[in-house]
Every structure is written in structure tokens, then in C-alpha cells.
Amino acid sequence: MKNAIVMTMLVAMVALLASSAQADLVVTSDADSTVSGGATGTNYGTSTVLQIRNGSASYKMKSWIRFDISGWTAGKSNITSATIDLTVSYRSSTETVPLHVYALNNGTGTDPYGSGDLDESWGETAITWANAPANREASDTVWGDYTTLLHTFTNVPAAGTLLSFTITDADQLAFLTGDTNDKVTIILCRTSGSGTPRSYIASKENATYDPPKLTLTPEPATMTLLLLGLPLALRRRRK
Ligand SMILES: [Ca+2]
Ligand SMILES: [Ca+2]
């Protein structure tokens, strides 16, 4: 009888924890666009591809991608792992130019370098080379004070292939764990190459390939630990 009461109480506790536990959050890009050093006032927000290339000024292209993480309800400090998936939508035959993925830090206010707002409210159909947050306009990269390097792909495979990486390092996760506005932005750029070769990443407007995707994973749930300990607790009571 006692065991039955204990069991009922534990099941109720597990159910309560399960209802409040944070599951993985999977979101696709909320906004994405290329900006071009050769057309500094032009927006590419409705394009089906995200372009990233380096070279002389007119060949420089970088891409901004934003995710809405308002679906994460367990407190941002509980994010312990993040995976970013990008799908290659085009590749020239010899694409070996490294592709860097940066996070825009959770900045607020105005970019002192004149590249626009840092508060991540950039508009998908308004972002350009001239106003993209943390864009280092005279360069092939971004302002280090406001960004964190997450990953570098050393080679880009054929169209249709997934480019994926997972981060668990606290410093790299800071743009997520320190987020205060439910928006996070990543930036794609290249710091070598001559304009060609190049490759494209599918944007959220691409009908053939998957859009950029972010997966957030919480700390191992208390519920799981409790479930693991439950049989042991019951066995001890029966002795
Ligand atoms: Ca877009
Ligand atoms: Ca943010």
C-alpha cells in the first residue's frame, strides 16, 4: 500500500516536471539576406540564395541570418548546446575557400563604426552593406568587438549537402545564453579567395533546399535524472 502511494506521488512529480521541462527548440531563419560590397545600398532579402565571397570591393558578399528564439521558455542560461544547419544550394566545381560563421553578440545601441544598429532589429528587405550590424565595410570580415567566431568550414561540398556544426563552449554560446531580445543573428563571410570560386547557401525563400536552421538543446532534464533514480528508490523501499 505504502509503495502504491509513493509510486503515485512520484508519477505525479514526474508528470509535473515533464510539463515544465524545456524540449529542444528547432527554428528556421526568421530573416536572411546577402549584402554586397559592389552594391552597398542594394538589398537581397527576397533572394533564394545567400552569397558569401571575397575579392576586390565589388566582389565582396556577406550574409546575415536571424533566428527568433522566443519559443525557448526555460531561461537562456539553460542552453547548453546549439547546432546550426546550412544547406548548400550551389557550388562551383572547385570550392575550397574557407567559410566563416560568426554570431552577432547580444548588442544594443548604435554601432560606433557607423554600420547601423546593433540591436538585431535589422529588416530582411532593408539590410544592406551600408547598414548591416557589425559589418566591417572596408574589409572582408566583421567587427570583432561585436561578434564571436563560431565555426569555419574549410571546404564546401556539392549542392544539396548539409553544412552543420554544434557548439557547446560557453564563450561561443554567449550570444544565446546572454540573449535578452529573443533574436539571434549569425553572419557568414569569407576572408580569402578572389571572388571565384564561390558557393551559395539556401535562404528561407529557397523552394528546393532547406532554410538555415538552429537547434537549441537544454541541460539534461531533472526529469531524466529522476526517472533514472526512480527504480532504485523503489527497490530500496521494498527491501
Ligand atoms: Ca531572405
Ligand atoms: Ca539577441
CATH of the domain at 182: 2.60.120.260
Looking at the CA of 203, which ligand is closest?
A: 1
Which residue is listed with cell 527568433? Answer: 68
Q: Are residues 15 and 59 in the same domain?
A: no
Are 38 and 127 in the same domain?
yes
Residue 225 and residue 214 in one domain: no
- Domain co-membership, 187 together with 198: yes
Residue 45 scores a pLDDT above 60 = yes
Same domain for 209 and 129? yes
Range of the domain at 109: 24-219
The model's confidence at residue 233, banded by pLDDT at 50, 70 and 90, is: low
Name the domain count of the chain. 2
5 and 60 both lie in a single domain: no
Burial of 147 by CB count in 10 Å (0-12 exposed, 13-18 middle, 19+ buried)? buried
66 Cα: distance to centroid of ligand 1 (angstroms): 10
pTM equals 0.84
Residue 99: strand, helix, or coil:
strand
Same domain, 15 and 49: no
pLDDT beyond 70 at 165: yes
Q: Is the pLDDT of residue 223 over 70?
A: no
pLDDT digits (tens, 9 = 90+) for 135-162: 988 888 888 888 999 999 988 888 999 9
Q: How far is the CA of 81 from the centre of ligand 2 (A)?
A: 16
Please name the amino acid found at residue 66.
Answer: R
Q: Which of 127-131, 162-166, 179-183 has the highest mean pLDDT?
A: 162-166
Residues 203, 229, single domain; the answer is no
Alpha-carbon distance of 117 to 91, in angstroms, equals 32
CA 13 to ligand 1 centroid distance, Å:
44
